[in-house]
């Protein structure tokens, strides 16, 4: 075995192994939402904040602050590359050409991530992004990916060469066993939604490759724009809770708060059509949403229930479509809430033939190392880390969710929202990821 001396010396003199190396290493829906925000809400100031729902994991103890700053600073140095820009302009998304308008792409050419505020408190990092919504929104995914990967790295630094070898061998074997189970679901459509919670970039890339190799046509793409571009896959995703949360926070009356979710849909409808019209109904409770929704919402392509138990939520939506005279078999439900193989199988079999489905598979795809280390340890288990809108033009933002464990915002504001939307169907369920 000949050692390449130059390579070895170079490898050992790395200053930084950057986690996020491209502005497109983010979720596709961020770009669709960004275009909307850029067109309509350029003057809105939004704060995003890191929230670690797994409180017993003390991130500030596990992750070195200097390393975290170095990674965040590196991400701030990124600008859209030329070939990335050309790809965004020239590629079709969801079958539509030029989904991004030329002026938006021009604006994006100069985009860089804005400043961040980082401090430590009670063993956690307080990480906030203040500024124009058009800028702070783009921090969500890279911030989460950076923290999750720094956490993995800090654990793996304590492991030997052989332990790491077994760790990844087992993680690969574990994922492939899941792939083999999913192969049995004829007509399955599943996408990678695991960017934010991934163990690492390289691991997400491996997982995507595994789904591509193992599932063929059933693997419909990835939410990760950079990986989609690199691997000629479909970029998947539409919109997220930040839209109704910001609209509700901007509202000046309770009635405007109540109408906020529908204002979002109107904004969306003006920009995107067809398969991009997917409703995310649970920001303030799915039951309230369906109760108050105007009839035209029933003409949208589908729903993405994201916090209620999937079969229950799906049945509720199917029933609602029927009540509105829609045939669910023309419709799509995108399941995306903390899924793993068991639940995917159950949900698929439950709805097979009754409604079109697709699955957005996140944390349990790209960060399932439970039981994989040679010596039993839990510090590689995924945590429930999010980066959420906390204030909009200085006003507090709230998410109620169908699961109170996923609610965010000031308790008094949550109370107010609960008075407006009601609490029907909300039920506390443990968050595993």
Contact footprint for a copy of itself (CB under 8 A): 2, 4, 7, 160, 162-163, 165-166, 168-170, 172-174, 176, 209-210, 213-214, 374
Helices (H), 216-299: 225-231, 242-250, 254-271, 286-292
| Nearest distance, CB of residue 68 and a copy of itself, angstroms | 26
- Beta carbon of residue 24, minimum distance to a copy of itself (angstroms, whole number): 18
Of 183 and 346, which CB lies nearer to a copy of itself in the complex structure?
A: 183
Compute the least distance from the CB of residue 26 to a copy of itself, in Å.
22
> Which residue, 16 or 173, is less far from a copy of itself as judged by CB?
173
Contact criterion met (CB below 8 Å) for 257 and 245: no
Residue 187 in contact with residue 220, Cβ under 8 Å?
no
Kindly state the smallest distance separating residue 2's Cβ from a copy of itself, in Å.
8
Q: Are strands 278-279 and 302-303 parallel, antiparallel or unpaired?
A: parallel
Closer of 180 and 352 to a copy of itself (Cβ)? 180
Q: How far is the CB of 161 from a copy of itself (least distance, A)?
A: 9
Phi, psi of 198 (to 5 degrees): -65, 150
Task: Tell me how far CA of residue 48 lies from CA of 28, 143, 403, 413, in angstroms.
Answer: 18, 10, 21, 17
Which C-beta is closer to a copy of itself: that of 2 or that of 158? 2
Alpha helices (H) in 41-160, listed in sequence order: 59-62, 65-76, 82-90, 102-109, 133-136, 140-156
> Shortest approach of a copy of itself to residue 166 CB, angstroms?
5
Strands 117-121 and 46-52 turn out to be unpaired
Neighbour order of strands in the sheet with 356-361: 219-222, 190-192, 356-361, 332-335, 302-303, 278-279
Minimum separation from the CB atom of position 4 to a copy of itself (A): 6
Cβ atoms 192, 221 nearer than 8 A = yes
Report the nearest approach of a copy of itself to the CB of residue 239 (Å): 33
**Looking at beta carbons only, is 79 or 174 nearer to a copy of itself?**
174
Residue closer to a copy of itself, measured from CB, 115 or 163: 163
Least distance in angstroms from the C-beta of 373 to a copy of itself: 10
In whole angstroms, what is the distance from residue 76 CA to residue 74 CA?
5
CA distance 121 to 126: 7
Q: Is 159 exposed, middle or buried (0-12, 13-18, 19+ CB in 10 A)?
A: middle
Element (H, E) at 31: helix 28-40
Nearer to a copy of itself, 213 or 427 (CB): 213
DSSP 368-426: --TTTSSS--STTS---EEEEEEEETTEE--B--SSGGG-BS-HHHHHHHHHHH--TT-
φ, ψ of residue 427 to 5 degrees: the values are -150, 130
Nearer to a copy of itself, 76 or 170 (CB): 170
- Work out how close the CB of 6 gets to a copy of itself at its nearest, in angstroms, rounded to a whole number: 9
Complex with a copy of itself: residue 167 or 318, whichever CB lies closer: 167
In angstroms, what is the minimal distance from the CB of 81 to a copy of itself? 16
Q: Strand, coil or helix: what is 222?
A: strand
Tally the C-alpha atoms within 13 A of residue 252's C-alpha that lie toward its C-beta.
0
Report the distance separating Cα 54 and Cα 125, nearest Å.
13
- Using the minimum distance from each CB to a copy of itself, give the nearer residue, 111 or 168: 168
Closer residue to a copy of itself, CB minimum distance, 98 or 183: 183
DSSP secondary-structure letter at 57? S
Which of 31, 26, 106, 46 is closest to 394 using CA atoms? 46
């Amino acid at each position: 075995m000949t050692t390449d001396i130059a390579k070895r010396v170079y490898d050992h003199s790395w200053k930084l192994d950057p986690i996020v190396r491209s502005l497109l290493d983010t979720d596709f829906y961020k770009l669709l939402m960004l275009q909307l925000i850029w067109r309509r809400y350029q003057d809105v100031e939004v704060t995003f904040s890191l929230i670690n729902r797994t409180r017993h994991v003390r991130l500030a103890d596990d992750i070195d602050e200097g390393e975290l700053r170095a990674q965040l600073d590196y991400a701030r140095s990124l600008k859209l590359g030329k070939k990335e820009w050309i790809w965004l302009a020239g590629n079709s998304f969801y079958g539509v050409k030029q989904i991004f308008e030329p002026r938006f792409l021009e604006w994006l050419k100069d985009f860089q991530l804005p400043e961040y505020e980082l401090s430590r408190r009670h063993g956690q990092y307080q990480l906030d992004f203040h500024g124009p919504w058009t800028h702070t929104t783009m921090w969500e995914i890279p911030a989460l990916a950076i923290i999750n990967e720094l956490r993995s790295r800090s654990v793996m630094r304590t492991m030997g060469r052989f332990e790491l070898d077994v760790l990844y061998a087992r993680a690969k074997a574990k994922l492939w066993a899941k792939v083999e189970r999913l192969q049995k679901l004829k007509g399955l459509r599943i996408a990678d939604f695991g960017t934010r919670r991934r163990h690492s970039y390289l691991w997400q890339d491996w997982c995507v490759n595994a789904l591509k190799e193992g599932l063929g046509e059933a693997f419909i793409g990835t939410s990760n724009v950079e990986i989609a571009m690199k691997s000629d896959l479909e970029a998947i995703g539409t919109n997220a809770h930040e839209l109704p949360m910001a609209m509700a926070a901007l509202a000046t009356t309770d009635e405007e708060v109540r109408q906020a979710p529908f204002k979002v849909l109107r904004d969306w409808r003006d920009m995107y059509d067809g398969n991009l019209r997917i409703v995310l109904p649970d920001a303030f409770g799915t039951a309230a949403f369906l109760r108050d929704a105007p009839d035209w919402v029933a003409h949208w392509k589908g729903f993405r229930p994201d916090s209620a138990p999937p079969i229950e939520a799906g049945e509720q939506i199917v029933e609602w479509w029927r009540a509105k005279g829609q045939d669910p078999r023309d419709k799509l439900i995108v399941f995306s809430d903390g899924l793993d193989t068991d639940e995917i199988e159950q949900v698929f079999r439950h709805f097979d033939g009754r409604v079109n489905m697709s699955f957005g598979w996140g944390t349990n795809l790209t960060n399932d190392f439970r039981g994989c280390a040679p010596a039993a340890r839990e510090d590689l288990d995924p945590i429930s880390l999010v980066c959420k809108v906390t204030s909009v033009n200085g006003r507090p933002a709230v998410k109620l969710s169908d699961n109170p464990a996923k609610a965010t915002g000031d308790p008094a504001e949550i109370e107010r929202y609960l008075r407006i939307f009601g609490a029907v169907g909300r039920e506390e369920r443990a968050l595993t990821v």
